[in-house]
Amino acid sequence: MFERVTSRFPRTSAPRTRAAVLAAGLGTSVVLGAGVAVAVDNTAASGAAGAVQAQAAAQSKVAEAQAKAVEAQAAKAKEAAEAKKAAAAKAAQAKKAAKAAAKKKAASWIDPVESYKLSASFAQNGGMWASKHSGQDYAVPTGTPVVAAHGGTVVKAGGNGAGDGPAYGNAVVIKHGNKTYSQYAHLSSVNVKVGQVVKTGQKIALSGNTGNSSGPHLHFEIRSTPNYGSAVDPVKFLRGKGVTV
């Protein structure tokens, strides 16, 4: 007779086996579900990061555009300031030049009339004078403006040669200092009076044909005194002062 053998391993019932299989399957599902959830979370995080980067890039571009605009505005303001400064400097230079020119003109001598033709000269002989001619004649039409050849003070003005005799007609004498006087004669009208201070180039009279005159002209003298008989060559004098006669 054979001895009956009993198995040491317990028999697993079918219900328990199915339960184990279900449990294993459920565990796998849980693991897979967790993986899918992680993947979804990663995708969402990646999208959010991209949105943040895009927003940052947009803000950077805006900031860059604003910075460029500020730089352009600053450059324009600087350019305007430099232009204003240059204009001010140019105006100051022009003012300085004008002042220098005025000062130079005040210190210089000029012709007593413009657009003239020289006629009778100094020391010229002729029947029109008691002796030699005492000045330089400038042939100009009656009514030509006569100006002060140099700044000074009027010491004689009026008819009868302003005291030098009827041969001069209407006349003016100006004192310039340093024993120098200028005389203007045969005038049609006198526009200054004794004691008046005049500037170089200021109109003092109109030319004419008064007194002992053979035609419209200005008789011009340079004297060492205000009176007749002290005349010097006016053309030589003016040329010595740089005047083109």
Q: What is the pTM of this model?
A: 0.60
Q: Which tokens in the block code for residue 101?
A: 């020119």
Least confident range from 73-87, 108-122, 223-237: namely: 73-87
Cα separation of 50 and 32, whole Å? Answer: 27
Burial class (CB in 10 A: 0-12, 13-18, 19+), 124: middle
Q: Give the mean pLDDT of the chain.
A: 83
Looking from the CA of 39 toward its CB, the CA atoms found within 13 Å total: 6
Structure tokens at 166: 């009827």
Would you say 202 and 147 are in contact if contact means Cβ atoms under 8 Å apart? yes
Which residue would you say has higher pLDDT here, 70 or 189? 189
Cα separation, 181 vs 108, in Å, equals 14
pLDDT at 8: 46
Structure confidence by residue, pLDDT tens digits, 36-88: 444 445 666 677 777 888 888 888 888 888 888 898 989 889 988 889 999 99
pLDDT, one tens digit per residue, over 200-225 is 999 999 999 999 998 999 999 999 99
Q: How far apart (Å, rounded) are the C-alpha atoms in residues 100 and 112? A: 22
